[in-house]
Amino acid sequence: MKMKKFINQPQNLVPELLEGLALAFPDKVRLVGNKLVVRVVPKDRRKVRVVTLGGSGHEPGLSGFVGEGMLDISVAGEIFAAPGAPRCIEAIRMAASESDAGVLFVVLNHAGDVMSANITMDMAKREGRNVKMILTHEDISGGPNPEDRRGLVGFLPVYKVAGAAAEQGCSLDACLAIAERMQQNMRTLAVAVRTATHPATGQPIFELGDDEMEIGMGQHGEAGTGRMQLKSADETADIMLDPLLEDLRVKPGEELLVILNGAGATTLMELLIIFRRVAHVLRDKGIKLVRSRVGEFITTQEQAGFQMMIARMDPELIRLWDAPCDAPYFVVR
Amino acid sequence: MTETIRQPELARMFAAAAACVRSEHARLSELDSIAGDGDHGATMLRVVDRLESAVAPGSSGDLKVLLKDAGWSILGVDGGASSCLLGTFFAGMADTESDASALDCRGFTAACEAGLQAASRQSKAQPGDKTMMDALVPAVAALRAAADSGTLLIDALRSAADAARAGAESTRNLIARHGRAKHLGEKTRGHQDPGATSVALLFEGFYRGLAETKGDAGYA
């Protein structure tokens, strides 16, 4: 099928979307050059900066979470491709020059992102900058080896709690420890039912039969591992929730944050129906659902499907999750 | 007979490499759409633009400066793992003891080895994992074998290009074990890896570019 998208020149997708973001939220974010999204009002010099990087085409991720109480700088790459090290080191230098407390660099586990981040960290070290990196890797479809687990929507609670800790004046080590604790206590699984088209090439990203769904789908539409007949909302919720609870070894009485993230073309109606089932199952198992979000936080164009994320919370993580923040696509008052 | 690579030779090698990639970019995207998101050809077009402009007239005669600039410029393509590895490879080529203004067969081999070493630090992929490394590792090994046996530079480049192509073709029967495509497993078998194919095109270009300089159309 021919691509139907409202775009101009394919090579201008990224600069145009970032310009749009800055123009739509002029009190929150601005563009530096054509690929760095930064806070309009920088925080105090004594506070830690939180910087991230990632490909574009996943809006509102990742640049939509730049703002008070979350990110200070987001380095945007091309469509579905990580930005290179030159732009990342530019962001780190900028963040480091504005802060006496150091920089936390949040990286989602994807091959290109990690390579750029590693080169950037090598350079930052050589320049003697106070930067620490945290890798998010919570996608259980990658198998037992943590290195094989991709970073999916779990970036959101990591940005949130690390951003809140930084905003409250915690040290770099303390911000890193909070981010690590969030990362270690979260798990995500994704499912797709329909492919997306790459907005620059117009090509479908993968093939999926009319009556199929695929579990373990990546953020860039890269195909997953468990292909099966399309199931009902309740059955799908169960198929995804069970392995997540098992992998995180959740016990009755524990407190969970649950995030359902729409991939782009799955309706809020469907997400709410699935969420209802998740809440029921948790209740029946005696697991406490203490915080939740249902919406679109990282998308893959018009891919249909969703990511289900669960995270074990403790009083400090809940306090940081509840702290005020004011980013274009995440506001807590 | 051209036995050393200076700025003009390197410029022709990079221009020919760019031409090879440009003529095949549609195929690269097609190969990428099987296991990836289908933009590898577009990324490689941007990579070779940077490669070519790094050796444009007026660029440094110091090959180390030139290679560092080319690599850093390619890293700035923002094209994910492909541009990251290639940028690291070219920038890493500057990390040798070789003469900064001219590379003979041994010098070029040492530079490519340094580039491969730098790229290997970024990617844990080994030959057999269905990545760029399946073409890059044998190409550099072929250069080393040629340099050690005292082969002419042009013949060394020919054997490197052949080794890279054979390496790329060998990926057809492999299952991806690295990068995004690894999540596809068995489904990646039967198709050549786009990254390895790009590396083979670059090395074919290096040969053709040098062959042109000595007035030999070669295999072009």
Hey, is the C-beta of A57 within 8 angstroms of any chain B C-beta?
no
Q: What is the mean pLDDT of the segment spanning A302-315?
A: 97
Q: Decide if pLDDT at B220 tops 50.
A: no
Window 192-211 of A: residues touching B by CB (8 A cutoff) are 198, 200-201, 203-205
Verify whether the Cβ–Cβ distance A115 to B81 is below 8 Å: yes
- Per-residue pLDDT tens for B57-82? 889 889 999 999 999 999 999 888 89
Hey, is the C-beta of B188 within 8 angstroms of any chain A C-beta?
no
* Rounded Cα distance, B85 and A201, in Å: 23
* Rounded Cα distance, A102 and B86, in Å: 31
Q: Are A265 and A205 in contact (CB under 8 A)?
A: no
Q: Are A314 and A171 in contact (CB under 8 A)?
A: no
Q: Decide if pLDDT at B216 tops 60.
A: no
Q: A194-233 burial by CB neighbour count: b if 16+ within 10 A, else e? A: bbbbbbbbebbbbebeeeebbbbbbbbbbbbbebeeeeeb
Averaged confidence pLDDT in chain A: 94
CA dihedral A19, A22, A24, A27 (to 10 degrees): -160
Closest among A243, A245, A192, A200 to A219, alpha carbons compared: A192
* Rounded Cα distance, A87 and A101, in Å: 22
Q: Decide if pLDDT at A213 tops 70.
A: yes
Q: What is the mean pLDDT of the segment spanning A266-279?
A: 98
Q: How confident is the model at residue A44 (pLDDT cuts 50, 70, 90)?
A: very high
Q: Which two tokens stand for residue B26?
A: 């549609």
| Nearest residue of A to residue B46, measured between CA atoms | A11
The whole-number pLDDT of residue A219 equals 63
Within B93-193, where are the H helices?
Answer: 105-122, 133-148, 153-170
Hey, is the C-beta of B45 within 8 angstroms of any chain A C-beta?
no
| Nearest residue of A to residue B177, measured between CA atoms | A148
Hey, is the C-beta of A77 within 8 angstroms of any chain B C-beta?
yes
Q: How confident is the model at residue A220 (pLDDT cuts 50, 70, 90)?
A: low
The whole-number pLDDT of residue B219 equals 43
The whole-number pLDDT of residue A224 equals 60
Q: Is A252 strand, coil or helix?
A: coil
Q: Decide if pLDDT at A230 tops 70.
A: yes
The whole-number pLDDT of residue B218 equals 43
ipTM value > 0.95: no
Q: What is the mean pLDDT of the segment spanning A19-39?
A: 96
Confidence (pTM): 0.90
Q: Which two tokens stand for residue A73?
A: 């700088």
